[in-house]
Amino acid sequence: MLDDFLIRAILAGLGLALVAGPLGSFVVWRRMAYFGDSTAHAAILGVALALAFDLSIYAGTITVALAVAVLVTALTARGQAMDTVLGVIAHSALAFGLVAISFVPAARVDLASYLFGDILAVGRSDLVWIWAGALSVLALLVWRWQKLVTASVNEELAMAAGIDPRLERLALSIALALVVAIAIRIVGSLLISAMLIIPAATARRFAATPERMAAIASILAALSVLTGLLASLYLDSPAGPSVVAAATVFFVFAQGVRSR
């Protein structure tokens, strides 16, 4: 029989995997990896605010992550370069977050768990937040799937079809913000982008359609969670990094299989 903490960890990881596949596919297609990193780094500021005001960690990270998504969309619409905006916001929010955490004594000990994740410490209330967030993002992606795919392939084609690429970009930004918020307890702010990018990049080698790539990426993410947790259990290694390491092993293996 599995211990309760391990069952909760598996359920939390599978919740992330469910949405990491389709959302990670869009991150790969649209080259939004830096956006994911920026939002994840900014989430540390949300953690600091939540701890300082005795709020839910998820409420704090969701608020800051959504603010970053809206701010980036607004600034890029004014002609600012995307990479410049992301660089300024990511490093500024991370710096302010770390400074703010230094004034919250109770948070100093737990900082590593927010940077690298602590999936084995996930509680039942965490599972509610994780699955509610994952299902919300999945519903958003299913609702706007065709428009998102069209806008990702060619923005001019999307405009000709009556689709506003800026609206679809904002929808993806909001989805990323929500996933960053729910994933911070699982793999940490420094590794969230890896769980979005690596399974999707691996699936891309074997998929002929966007839908198939999203499905394969979710399966690979789920396998990475199970393999990483098993490795963590037997090797006594950090759980979050072990999950990402497992995803990387699948990626390397896929390159060899595809080459042959």
Res 1: pLDDT: 52
Per-domain boundaries in the chain = 4-259
CB–CB of 225/10 below 8 Å? yes
What is the dotted CATH code of the domain comprising 4-259?
1.10.3470.10
Long-range contacts (CB closer than 8 Å, 24 or more residues apart) made by 149-156 = 149/210, 152/26, 152/29, 152/30, 153/29
Residue among 56, 18, 63 at smallest CA distance from 39 = 63
Res 106: pLDDT: 60
Tell the burial category of 158 from Cβ atoms under 10 Å away from its Cβ (0-12, 13-18, 19+): buried
- Tell me how far apart the terminal alpha carbons of the chain are, to the nearest angstrom: 40
Per-10-residue mean pLDDT, the chain, length 260: 80 93 90 78 82 81 84 77 78 81 66 78 88 93 91 83 84 87 82 90 89 94 94 89 94 76
Res 15: pLDDT: 93
Tell the burial category of 2 from Cβ atoms under 10 Å away from its Cβ (0-12, 13-18, 19+): exposed
Instruction: Tally the residues of the chain.
Output: 260
Res 110: pLDDT: 65
Tell how many helices (H) and how many strands (E) occur in the chain.
13, 0
Which two structure tokens, joined as six digits, stand for 58? 């998820």
Which two structure tokens, joined as six digits, stand for 211? 């839908």
- Longest pairwise C-alpha distance within the chain: 57
Residue among 140, 135, 169, 130 at smallest CA distance from 152 = 169
Res 42: pLDDT: 81
Q: What is the pTM of this model?
A: 0.87
Neighbours of 109 (CB within 10 A): 8
